[in-house]
Amino acid sequence: MTDHHEKATTQDWVAVIGGALGALIASLDISIVNSALPRIQGEIGASGTEGTWISTGYLVSEVVMIPLTAWLSRVFGQRALLLGCATMFTLFSMLCGISHSLESMVLGRVGQGFFGGALIPAAQTIIRTRLPARQLPVGMSIFGLIVLLGPLVGPVVGGWLTESVGWQWCFFLNLPIAIALVTLLLLGLPKEKMDIAQLLEADWLGIIGMTAGLSCLTVVLEEGQRERWFESPIIVWLTVISAIGFVLLAIAQKTSARPVLKLKLMLNRSYAAVIVIVVAVGMALYGILYVIPQFLAGISGYDAEQSGRVLFLSGIPAIMLMPVLPRLLRLNMRVMVIIGLLCFAVSCFMDVGLTAQSAGEAFVWSQLLRGVGQILAFMPLNQASVGSVSREDAADAAGLYNMARNLGGSLGLALLGVFIDRQVTQHVQSIGESITANSATGQDYLAAMAANVATQTGVDAAAAHTVAVAQLASAIQEQATVITYTNCFWFLGVAMVAMIPLTFLLRTRPAGAAASQMAH
């Protein structure tokens, strides 16, 4: 471990770059498959509902592995764990690439998510433990950029690979990256003695409770809307199992000498504020990644690759700010997070004025401002998540932080799913009620549409009226959907503003300074 007075060695930087590369392929694979999903479903014979498990399977296993990473690092050593996870992640990626059935594809994605889940918090831990305090902002800038850009680059790369060479390359792409990753880990990380005895002394009650609680909760959040929530017996049972799991986890917190999930870190007010804010930002970030493609596909007629380009606009500020990010992270953390949240909120409010005629260009400025907000909010939060705790707790803090971000994303998508479903129904009913048989304006509009249809197609009046009614219903549905999406942006913007009071609980010193103090 590098002492805080020294400069990082070449080996330290090799380890940091290796960890960052691992985080990149893990974060990329969360979203790279989304663009290829329709093609994959068609070729393996999966329905739309069945195909959702290709994404859900990854998220469920990943959210379980993330908080286990710190414990597994102590058992097997960081080097052995990461080499094993990188190898298994690659093998499961190859399984996905050669899959011809839903079962093998889902199995491959579950394996990818589980072994890839260790790569993201491990990268954060490597940076925290291998870099001295004054070089920590550089390492955290690298990590933050990867975590932000992975979900943005994924749809673009996935769309291009699917259209150009085939969806299988969304998975085969991991092989050369993994070879480079394993090489860097072998060179950068020292061998450590395994402590297999910890397997016998482990907090198995907490592990079982956490696994049941998190996995079932993730499935409920991801699949609840499609299954009509508690109308589905499966969702009811998963909710019960999740609740039991969290009860077991709570008991383990009291009875275990070393709990697998160190929730006592939440007693640190600064760290607790980071976790709550990152849940909200995760909700907003993944919510935006869902709402914009839905709008562009349903209203503007964009395909996945075109939507991916619009999403990637928010990554441009991160790339442009890259040279100055380490300097920015030495500024007042609280001020940076507040500015970031405000930029994110304003970018959401800019999209409240969308219409049925809006297309990709309507999102250009809001996406660029959103990119600034993401980088200014996420970067200090990444650093604060490990900078506000001791080095000994860095791995546990990183796991809890990344778990919170992922759960925030799942929670955001679940809430937006319910919100969109109910709002569209409500707005269709509201607009429909204003165009009734008693509405002279509505009848005149319908008559004009019928006359236009009759002129263009030459059909009789009755057929023209039927077509006009169908077109009117379609127009009402489209307008209701647009209003709903604009309300989503309003909701996300308000959520960002609501997080600002919590920033006053954050440490005002940069995390590097905090880390230096703790090292003393």
Both tokens of residue 513? 């300074």
- Calpha distance 173→155 (Å, rounded): 14
Q: Residue 314 in contact with residue 367, Cβ under 8 Å?
A: yes
Tell me the per-residue pLDDT of 14-24, one tens digit each, with 9 for 90 and over: 888 888 888 88
Name the fold adopted by 1-199. Growth Hormone; Chain: A; (1.20.1250)
Task: Grade residue 510 by pLDDT with cuts at 50, 70 and 90.
Answer: very low
pLDDT at residue 342 tops 90 = yes
The DSSP symbol for 496 reads: H
| SS3 of the chain: helix, strand, coil, percent, to 5 | 85, 0, 15
Q: Identify the residue with better confidence: 412 or 186.
A: 186
Confirm if 145 and 318 have CB atoms less than 8 A apart. yes
User: Is 266-418+488-520 assigned to CATH 1.10.3720.10?
Assistant: no
Helices (H), 356-510: 364-387, 394-434, 440-457, 461-498
The chain-wide mean pLDDT, for the chain, equals 80
Q: Is the pLDDT of residue 265 over 90?
A: no
Instruction: Tell me if 89 sits within 8 A of 81, measured CB to CB.
Output: no
What are the structure tokens assigned to 490, written together? 């309003």
Contacts of 196 (CB under 8 A, 6+ apart): 75
Indicate the pTM of the whole model: 0.74
pLDDT of residue 92: 94
Residue with tokens 């001791």: 390
Q: Which amino acid is at 173?
A: L
User: DSSP assignment, residue 45?
Assistant: T
Q: How confident is the model at residue 6 (pLDDT cuts 50, 70, 90)?
A: low
- Strand, helix or coil for residue 227: coil
Comparing 107-116, 300-309, 357-366, the range with the smallest average pLDDT is: 300-309
Cα→Cα distances 153→291, 305, 322, 370, 440, Å: 17, 11, 16, 16, 51
pLDDT at residue number 50: 65
**297: amino acid identity, one letter:** A
Query: What backbone torsions phi and psi does residue 82 show, to the nearest 5 degrees?
Result: -70, -40
Top-confidence residue, 326 or 518 = 326
Q: Locate 214 and state its tokens.
A: 């998190």
Tokens for 326, please give them.
């380490």
Q: Does pLDDT of 517 surpass 70?
A: no
Pick the more confident residue, 61 or 6.
Answer: 61
pLDDT-based confidence at 61, cuts 50/70/90?
confident
Angular region, 228: left φ>0, alpha ψ -120 to 50, beta rest: left
Please state, as a whole number, how many other Cβ atoms lie within 10 Å of the Cβ of residue 259.
20
Domain boundaries along the sequence of the chain: 1-199, 203-259, 266-418+488-520, 426-479
In angstroms, rounded to a whole number, what is the distance separating the alpha carbons of residues 279 and 496?
11
Q: Please determine whether the domains at 1-199 and 266-418+488-520 fall in the same fold group of CATH.
A: yes
User: Closest Cα to residue 146, out of 312, 18, 20, 289?
Assistant: 20
What SS3 class is residue 459?
coil
With left for phi above 0 and alpha for psi between -120 and 50, is residue 156 left, alpha or beta?
alpha
Q: Where are the alpha helices (DSSP H) in 165-203?
A: 169-172, 174-188, 197-201
Helix (H) or strand (E) holding 382: helix 364-387
Q: Using CA atoms, how far apart are residues 390 and 379, in angstroms rounded to an integer?
A: 19
Q: Could you count the other beta carbons within 10 Å of the beta carbon of residue 15?
A: 28
pLDDT at site 269: 83
What does each C-alpha distance from 35 to 55, 108, 439 come to in angstroms?
Answer: 11, 18, 44
Q: For the segment 420-472, what is each residue's pLDDT rounded down to a tens digit? A: 878 888 877 777 666 665 566 666 666 666 667 667 666 666 666 676 667 77
